[in-house]
A and B are shown apart, each in its own frame.
Chain A
């Protein structure tokens, strides 16, 4: 039982668990820098800034999605919600609302959709997959309806600064959106790891029956999880609008899959109970680096898609392999 070699192996295993995604990121960057042409440009501050900027939307979405996936759920409506909120944000700016009001309204709409998802999932004990699949259609349709099937051009306002490159020649100053993402990541990591709320999320995902037995109010917890995640998806939608400076009801199709991929590459299990914020953020970075690297290699779009698909399968496969090893 107290065999020291077993003890060490377990510690090494846990260490591997934590640095696995970091290692993956290093590997991806390393592989791209093999090509001299890419290497010259890849490590410039501006390129790093572009990669970070491109990560923002998926990363903020992944913050909410990590919470949901750890609780044993899933949310397929994210892409549609992002499109809807970008339309809501742009439309309210067009209507002359103050930027602060527009931002609040945008995030509130997404939070409301999350709340509805949570209420249906908890109230009727329905599968999150089905409920959010339905919501995916509802939100997308509403976005098109609101925008009258066209893009809505947002008038210039401070909202646009969120995702503005600011100085296109240097790494600093970083756009506000990147700072916000980093700050939220820290907050969410603390919430998941250190708060009772976070520990309950892990408990529900690990074993819902046990959580119920231990007096955790599983229903209200689920409502809170989906609503909170909804707020984050709303923020992601705001970033989307800021980047394109318009509300587009057809934007972000399939975004939820990118986000789920980032969370899963980051070590979360779709069975719930495991995962981490840091892992998911790194997962999002891996995907952004892959995209950026592929385009600098002048690989066509389809190559990128194939590579990212393979990376997802590899990441999860390696994870399974590692877990089976750890079981002994």
Chain B
């Protein structure tokens, strides 16, 4: 088997990416959230088509038409989110879609043999073939997923963040499995944020940034600091309005807050007039911290202080009464009533000013919504329009507008700029700055480091469920934030 070479030139998500993997080689693909790793892998596995550029497999030109074609050609993919059918048995999952059959009749004994062999190859014969997958641990499920990928002897195996939901021990087991696959001459593309893992399993690496491959080399000779620099090396544009905020009294404090699974320990003190950023990778528990704090998720231990009063266990209703508002990261599924009107969405949490004795005054509600639409420069035709008819940026303004209408004094914002256009982003930055200037307090969770550095007064980094060490924003730079996010504290503090 000759090396696999791919080079693409798609418009936005991927500009110019090339890398190659040899047989039996583990190649680490490193990059920030949104650097284009997933898009690249989707092109490779046939989910997307590349606009330009080409892929070579075994020295021959290869154009994957769809995932099935890619799979039949020897490219298997293990997704970040496990994609098993939870009610079906291990055996059924391993051979899902590839069932041995004769004229449509399932060949059960054959299926059993194949599934058993696949697990044996991974040295995990201990997993019962008849157990429903939902009964297995996450690590075992991952093994089933790998076993499924190995059916049909793939030449290339793509693993997207395989350790993101594993414990240290399970991760170590996974590395042993990877070593074993390498000996079978399977090429592995290993996508991860965690550099120490990449060092452990990979021989070579390629760094992706903004859809381009910006560096590559041998893992053994690489210095972590250089890789981190390659990951973040961007210029901060001048789109962040900055006025100095005078910090007042503390309004919200989290002490060693622990949720059901995440966060493990979240600590912060938020003051009046402060914009506090929380950096970190996706899945480290930032969203869960905000949800627990807002009373949406259960708190196992630790405490929440609002002003000078302890109020750990709470509900959204009570939090809103305390003047705390949460902006969900998931605008479509949680943030907005998509098929209801703009006016209903804006006034939902506080009907007080537009109603009397429980009766909503439609005219006042409309007027009030109209005012917010104008103030937030929402491009809409009428307050009676359904939210779903607006663009992403304008929808987000409606979601933020609801918190403003509620007169919140503490804003918990989860990825407020995700998936919206630059113009709307700048408006949201400006708005946050104004809020802080009025003495309101903002917690700003984002995966986009330049905006955190540009907008926040203080920034904390969350890594593997722990948030500590909130420091003034000027003491951070992208390099140190990224280092802290991937658990390289030495690099972060040096």
Contact = CB atoms under 8 A, between A and B. Distances in A.
Interface of A: 1-2, 6-7, 10, 190, 194-197, 199, 202-203, 206-207, 209-217, 273-274
Interface in B322-342: 326, 328, 333-340
B340 A206 contact: yes
Which of B296, B340, B358, B402 is packed against the most chain A CB atoms within 10 Å?
Answer: B340
B469 interface: no
Given A196-B351, A215-B319, A202 B344 contact: yes
Interface in B354-404: 355, 358-360, 362, 379, 381, 385, 402
B351 to A, nearest CB: 5
A215 B360 CA distance: 18
Contacts of A2: 381
B320 interface: yes
A326 B33 CA distance: 36
A210 B335 contact: yes
B328 A196 contact: no
B381 A196 contact: no
B316 interface: yes
B337 A196 contact: no
Given A2-B381, A210-B335, A273-B337, A199 B348 contact: yes
Nearest to A206: B337
A7 B381 CA distance: 7
A1 B381 contact: yes
B359 A195 contact: yes
A319 to B, nearest CB: 13
A136 to B, nearest CB: 28
B351 A194 contact: no
Which range holds the interface residue count of chain B? 20 to 34
A19 to B, nearest CB: 17
B340 A203 contact: yes
A212 B337 CA distance: 11
A199 B340 CA distance: 10
A215 B320 contact: yes
Contact of B335 (A213, A215, A273): A213
Contacts of A10: 381, 385
Main secondary structure of the interface of A (DSSP, over half): helix
Contacts of B334: 207, 209-210, 213
Contacts of B358: 195-197
A207 B335 CA distance: 9
A194 B320 contact: no
A222 to B, nearest CB: 15
B449 to A, nearest CB: 27
6 contacts: A2-B381, A6-B381, A195-B359, A202-B340, A206-B337, A273-B340
A274 B316 CA distance: 25
Nearest to A274: B339
A2 B378 CA distance: 12
B344 A199 contact: yes
A273 B345 CA distance: 13
Q: Which 8 A-B pairs have the closest CB atoms?
A: A215-B320, A206-B337, A215-B317, A209-B334, A214-B349, A215-B316, A196-B351, A214-B348
Contact of B339 (A7, A194, A206, A214): A206
Contacts of A206: 337-340
Contact of A209 (B315, B333, B348): B333
Nearest to A273: B339
Contacts of A217: 315, 317
Contacts of A273: 337, 339-340
Interface in B211-266: none
Given A217-B315, A273-B340, 7 more contacts: A195-B358, A203-B340, A203-B348, A206-B337, A214-B316, A217-B317, A274-B339
Nearest to B334: A209
B23 to A, nearest CB: 47
A78 to B, nearest CB: 26
A216 B336 contact: no
A196 B338 contact: no
Contacts of B360: 194-196, 199
B360 to A, nearest CB: 5
Contacts of A197: 358
A212 B335 CA distance: 10
A213 B290 CA distance: 12
A10 B341 CA distance: 13
Contacts of A207: 333-334, 336-338
Interface string B85-119: 00000000000000000000000000000000000
A30 to B, nearest CB: 32
B355 to A, nearest CB: 6
B336 A210 contact: yes
Contact of A203 (B316, B321, B326, B337): B337
Contacts of B362: 194
A10 B359 CA distance: 27
A209 B329 CA distance: 13
Contacts of A214: 316, 320, 348-349, 402
Contacts of A212: 296, 316
Contacts of B385: 10
Nearest to A207: B337
Contacts of A213: 294, 296, 316, 326, 328, 334-335
Nearest to A2: B381
Contacts of B359: 190, 194-196
Interface in B247-303: 294, 296
A1 B338 CA distance: 19
A211 B321 CA distance: 15
